[in-house]
Structure 1
Amino acid sequence: MIIEDFMSEVGETSIREKLAACLKSNPKTLPCMFFYDQDGSELFEKITKLEEYYPPKIEIPLLRSTARKFNGELKDCDIVELGSGDCSKISVFLDEVPEESRQTIVYYPVDVSREAIEKSGRILRKKYPEMGLHGINADFLEHIENIRGKRKRLFCFFGSTIGNLTEAKAMEFLKNLNSVMNKKDRLLLGMDMVKDIDVIERAYNDSQGITARFNKNILKVTNSHLGTDFNPDDFEHVAFFNKEYSRIEMHLRAKRDLEVTSALLKESVILKKGETIHTENSHKYTPGHIRKMADAAGLFLENIYTDEKKWFSIAEMVKR
């Protein structure tokens, strides 16, 4: 499999500068992309299997039914999956595509982790030897202009990953994606919907504490890049629904006053007891939100596929 590499342009210096700036901000933050080293990826895989974590249980059947509706449109098509991670979701989708159509498809996984692309490539090569593969090692928020193509394309952005972005960032992303889409290119966008707050909060505060371990793992990743001496045991996992912004917020709250140091930082990172580091947002949407986003990005909202409870949706948007 060919893998185009755009992450080498970023470099470790840029990563360190980004992390240092986030820890100097008020309030302090850490970008959620840094959850996913090997341990973080394994923990997230465990999260997806938890009883409390509902999104995959609804999204997977939706992917199957949606793929069946696309059967006639996928011949001679490039499928571009943004933030592809492992290949579990695209595999569910491709299982519903006839082999004669898969023979004409090229699949483009786009991810910041080259290891994830290589691993999924090996699995997909075995599973669908008739299908073309072309990896893109990139941050789709920063390198979207590098995702070019002349054939018709289906962009896939599953798992409600768009919910991790602020409203402004999500709109900027959709507008930038629109700028590289060709006429009649399509986007399938996974979106977690507004529902009972107890259901949402339980999904991010599981009884086994796996989400807490996942959240704290970002400190280990930060240490590896920035040389800091964060101790995850000095923090507690906090996740709650913010009604004003219609989102789950994940934080790490300091259990005591802390001074975190690094040879790479001019100043220590000071945290008071009770102060938090904001690690992730996960926005929840309504059909009105989805229509507003599509209109503002210049995309036509063709369908919203959802489950009986309307807990999760896959929005289909088309380049006008």
Structure 2
Amino acid sequence: MSPFHITRTLPAAGSVTALRIDVLDGLTSKHKTLPPKWFYDARGSQLFEDICELPEYYPTRTERALLTSHAGHIAAATGARTLCELGSGTSQKTRILLDAMPRLHTYVPVDVSESAITQARQTLLRDRADLRIHAVIGDFTPPFDLPDTPGPRLTAFLGSTIGNLLPGERAEFLAAIRSQMAHEDALLLGMDLVKDEAQMVNAYSDAAGITSEFNKNVLAVINRELRADFDPDAFSHVALWNGDYERVEMRLRSRTAQTVRIPALDLVVDFAEGEDLRTETSAKFREEAVRSELAVAGMTLTHWWTDPHRLYALALVVPTPDPTAH
């Protein structure tokens, strides 16, 4: 049996269909929005890799350092035979966990990008010939199903991607994860923490302008896939702190009054001068609030690792025991 297997939960045309729905819903809303997942075509993925190396962007290097310091603890605490990673990308940081789990049986990378899965496969099959890889090309937003693999299972959701979910979406996501967990399974979350406002905002508005390019790439995706006529230069990249919701928001602000046509949707969209199109929210977290959200989903926080400056945290989570179970 081959050590590599792929399951497709996203049909070949599924991504374009989902894009059409998201663009139609988001651009006809009172406050215009687009989901951040549409940043990530090949160019957007490369831009994000570049962002991760920027001096302003602390989350990636801080999370990598925490994984390096605590991968052995995570492996010992979970005894995982399967590692599932949601939004795995090219699985670069995951290799820190894989190296700490020599007895791991199966790795399950889940990502919408087939090219990222393929790139990860080539490296992992070379470095871990003993490891079975069951890749899932699909979305990790509910409802979703993970393949049946040996337990205990550790599900990793890194990069503070959970912060891109709005509170209601986050609750639905955690409930979906909990519904698939056996009593011996665990969840590992990477979470960006509330800190100095300037430091948080600067991570999304770098001096080199790479994040601005990344933000505007969503317009290039819509132009290409839906034959739209967005002019990226007609929008300014904006990053700001929303203290009411404790999140950084990325927006594209229209420089002038303009009209955008999207023929594939038979849609005409008017933008007023100074009008914002919100493209990403990135919630920042506090430990006690995280414990409360997990409790509602039926899970318990068992380990909370932070860096010396308390910029970022890794949270290890297990199902809350059912007191009525026998």
Aligned residues of 1:254 and 1:274 also touching (Cα < 8 A): yes
Q: Which residue of 2 aligns with 1:37?
A: 41
Q: In 1, distance between residues paired with 2:300 and 2:243?
A: 28
Per the TM alignment, residue 143 of structure 1 is displaced from its structure 2 partner at its CA by: 4.1
Report which stretch shifted further, 1-10 or 237-246.
Answer: 1-10
RMSD between superposed Cα atoms in Å: 1.5
Q: In 2, distance between residues paired with 1:215 and 1:156?
A: 26
Q: In 2, distance between residues paired with 1:251 and 1:129?
A: 44
Q: Secondary structure at the match of 2:135?
A: strand
Per the TM alignment, residue 257 of structure 1 is displaced from its structure 2 partner at its CA by: 1.1
2:238 counterpart letter in structure 1: V
Instruction: Say whether 1:255 aligns with 2:258.
Output: no
Q: Secondary structure at the match of 1:194?
A: coil
Q: In 2, distance between residues paired with 1:259 and 1:70?
A: 52
Q: Which residue of 2 aligns with 1:138?
A: 138
**Cα distance change, pair 132–148 in 1 and its aligned pair in 2 (3 A):** closer
Q: 1:217-296 alignment to 2 at 5 Å?
A: 217-296=217-296
Deviations 1:8-59 (A, max 9, x none): 0735334312211211111111110000000000000000000011111211
Instruction: Say whether 1:3 aligns with 2:6.
Output: yes
2:241 counterpart letter in structure 1: F
Q: Secondary structure at the match of 2:237?
A: strand
Aligned residues of 1:106 and 1:132 also touching (Cα < 8 A): yes
Q: Which residue of 2 aligns with 1:53?
A: 57
Instruction: Say whether 1:26 aligns with 2:19.
Output: no
Per the TM alignment, residue 151 of structure 1 is displaced from its structure 2 partner at its CA by: 2.2
Q: 2:93 aligns with which of 55, 80, 89?
A: 89
Aligned residues of 1:144 and 1:180 also touching (Cα < 8 A): no
Report which stretch shifted further, 171-180 or 74-83.
Answer: 74-83
In structure 1, runs of 5+ residues without a counterpart are none
Aligned residues of 1:81 and 1:156 also touching (Cα < 8 A): yes
Q: Secondary structure at the match of 2:263?
A: coil
Aligned residues of 1:201 and 1:248 also touching (Cα < 8 A): yes
Per the TM alignment, residue 74 of structure 1 is displaced from its structure 2 partner at its CA by: 6.0
Q: Which residue of 2 aligns with 1:129?
A: 129
In structure 2, runs of 5+ residues without a counterpart are 321-326
Per the TM alignment, residue 75 of structure 1 is displaced from its structure 2 partner at its CA by: 5.5
**Cα distance change, pair 147–170 in 1 and its aligned pair in 2 (3 A):** farther
Identity of aligned residues (%): 38
Q: In 2, distance between residues paired with 1:129 and 1:147?
A: 20
Instruction: Say whether 1:62 aligns with 2:43.
Output: no
Aligned residues of 1:306 and 1:314 also touching (Cα < 8 A): yes
Q: In 2, distance between residues paired with 1:278 and 1:148?
A: 37
For normalisation by structure 2, the TM-score amounts to: 0.93
Deviations 1:133-159 (A, max 9, x none): 110011111342344445210000001
Q: In 1, distance between residues paired with 2:264 and 2:199?
A: 42
Q: What is the aligned length? A: 316
